[in-house]
Amino acid sequence: MNFRTVLISALVLAVLLVAAGCFEPEPPVITPTPTTVPTTMPATSPIPVPTTKASTLPGPTDTLPPQWPLSFTVEKAGMYSTTIITHFDGGKGLMYVTRMDVRVTHPDGTVLTDGLAKPRMGDTVEIAGTSGTDRVEVIVAMASGEAYKVIDKQVAYKPH
């Protein structure tokens, strides 16, 4: 008998809640007032847009926390090759790295990027370089949410 009373009370409560939601008055419709827009624009000279190239000069790097040391190797592939190879050597902070990004800036300002999600020791990123001196930046994202630029250097072509 007690079960029926609880069930009937729950059903009555549910019906009342549904009815309360269905009979809510609709909000009034607000019609915006039209504004006039001038049909002629004053003559102005075009605004020059500055064109900036990415810098090929290395900047400062970040220091990883002492409990998360990591090691990387960056080099051009070898004699007569312009490919830039970034090698993830690992370290005690290996478990905390969530992403490794490599950005290469060519002497003409062109920027190429590539990266690895959750890199493992021995992983490499290869990006096309030039026969000049390229800037290479290595940025790692840690599990803490922080990102560190651990390498920012120029890598020269080895002609022989």
Domain boundaries along the sequence of the chain: 71-155
Domain 71-155 has CATH 2.60.40.1180: no
CA 84 to CA 74: how far, in whole Å? 7
Contact assessment for residue 136 and residue 84, using Cβ atoms and an 8 Å cutoff: yes
Taking CA 55 as the corner, what is the angle to CA 52 and CA 57, rounded to the nearest 5 degrees? 160
Q: What number is the average pLDDT over the span 108-117?
A: 92
Q: What number is the average pLDDT over the span 8-30?
A: 64
pLDDT digits (tens, 9 = 90+) for 20-60: 655 555 555 555 555 555 555 444 444 444 445 677 788 89
Q: Distance of alpha carbon 111 from its chain centroid, rounded?
A: 15
Task: List Cβ neighbours of 145 (8 Å cut-off, separation of 6 or more).
Answer: none
Greater confidence, 45 or 124? 124
CA 89 to CA 91: how far, in whole Å? 7
Give percent of the chain with pLDDT exceeding 70: 72
Residue type, position 109, single letter: G
Query: Any idea which of 52-56, 91-95, 106-110, 150-154 has the lowest mean pLDDT?
Result: 52-56
Residue 87 pLDDT greater than 80, yes or no: yes
